[in-house]
Structure 1
Amino acid sequence: MQLHQHLPHLYVFRLVASLGSFQAAATELALPRSSVSKKVMQLEQYMEQRLLQRSTRQLRLTEAGLSLLEATQGLTALLDNTEQLRLQQQHKPIGRVKISSSTLLGQRFLLPRVAELRRRYPEVTIDLSLDDSVVDLIATGVDLALRVGHLPDSSLIARRVGQKSWAWVASPGYLQQHGTPATPDDLKQHQCIVFKNRDVALNHWSFADEHGRIETQVVEEAIAVDDGRTLVELACMDQGIVMLDLLLVQRELALGLLQPILGNWQHPETSPIHLLCLGKAARSKAVDCVWQALVPWLQADLAAAAQGESPH
């Protein structure tokens, strides 16, 4: 076998070395572990030297392996540059774009824009993931993500599209049965529905009065749920009081299914809403087009909703 035929084996060897295990490389490449091991063995046979010292607990580069790693350090850059050239020369958006969002935010603001995306980019497959759990975007292969909250430093590009506020609502039926709380302290006598999952429990409700004084109530949940849509459905079914963003229940407010309460208090905190994306050099033509379309759409829709207008 000629040297050029071992280029794929070199790539696999460098990946194993950088990740520190055959299994991690196999996962990255979506190959069986045995296939990865075989490719490295074929490279070792060609080099006539052992490149990796294997044991049950660790993987260590031999001296020959270290030398080969250093000698081929330009390979990754070469492959990356080739891929970027391919993406840049792609004239029209084709392929899959995976978009992630929390359930209510996605349902109310992403779903209404899917039809327009499909009309504009018919050869792009939209892969939507609506989940209220914290998701590692890079590890799960997400291209775009609608996220609430302040962002840690990362390689992702963020565009602010709106702002999340908090309020308290209940159904007219619940309030008729149980009365309307006049103060935050009255919540102790009421049924509260709390959002809770393995990452967060929103059972500390903060209130600021007209003078800016803040008090916090640790509410005892009558029901705990890990899905925003279920939270709203339960509130509409007269099951209790919920804390959420009024932007996300405008339909229910307009239909009279829910109504705001504790109007003399405000939540003291707000959170930015961002659309996240990979850096321009790492995203495909399809991802870039969807990104460029969604940013102004979401900004307009969230601004309209904040003014009490019907979004797109």
Structure 2
Amino acid sequence: WLTFPTGWGPTEWGPIPFLPDAQILSRKLESQWGDLGNPSHLSVSSEGKYVVSGLQFGNVWIGVQPLLGVEGDPMRLLFERDLTPHPQYAAFYSWLQKGFEVDAVVHFGTHGTVEWLPGSPVGNTGLSWSDVLLGNLPNVYLYTANNPSESIIAKRRGYGTIVSHNVPPYGRSGLYKQLAILKDLIADFREDPGANAVLRETIVDTVAAAGLFKDCPFSPERPKITAEDLQPSNGNGNGRETTTSDISEQDFADFVDRLFTYLQVVENRLFSEGLHVIGRAPDEGSMRKYLSAYFGDRLPDSVVSAIVESGEGATPEQILQASGVSSVS
């Protein structure tokens, strides 16, 4: 399968200034992985045959693209021109062409690896692995709409027909459990640090329980503190308590301010809510979260509601009219 016809000329090989030996790709595989006729590598059955795993539904076969087979640093395969894909990887695409005899392939998800394999970066040749493995198969590639730069590689080297899909709905991460409790404690403490000094130990215990000292250390010299570090002594004989801690009130107040800023960043961080379903628009709740998270205060709530309630096909003018807003900056 990897042997080229001996009668091939420059046109069939592509834009290369010489005609390589017809066995060059097979020899490259054997040089790196050993005898191809006696496989003892990744994904080999007990009978010594390469395994191509997947599920068949009538004339549709669904499989997972194999591993590249380069341990430790698989990205090396994408940048070192002398490396080759694993023989089972090549067998996977060989079976699609010669075994199952597919009419077309659909690569689903951003992104696969076949278009990144060694070969000519601009203009595939007969020595480009992406060209060899895909052959003449039509390649439909479902690719996320927010990654146009890498989809160009799928088009240029993988001959992909790109079908863009939307990204999952975004939302704000918010705070939960210990982080939400900590935010309330800090808010109470900052109202009057002197009167609410009793909250200091609880704040430190909550920070420790949430594992936040790693992300928000007390100081460069002293990353962690404990509630015991804030404990006062029994008294100084004058009826007043004195602290044995070397942590000043100002040091602790500065630490609390940094914690508050950190929690604000975490609370407002964008994240993907679930997965996008191909061909299905987000529901109303997801759409509201997405628009509010993406535009923030720039998009009034009335406009968000108008967009959600107007549905598909509404023009910007119709949405603004429904929202009662004349314009949006």
**Bigger RCO (CA 8 Å, 6+ sep):** 1
TM range (shorter): under 0.3
Structure whose alpha-carbon radius of gyration is higher: 2
Q: Which structure features the higher share of strand residues?
A: 1
TM-score by length of 1: 0.26
TM-score by length of 2: 0.25
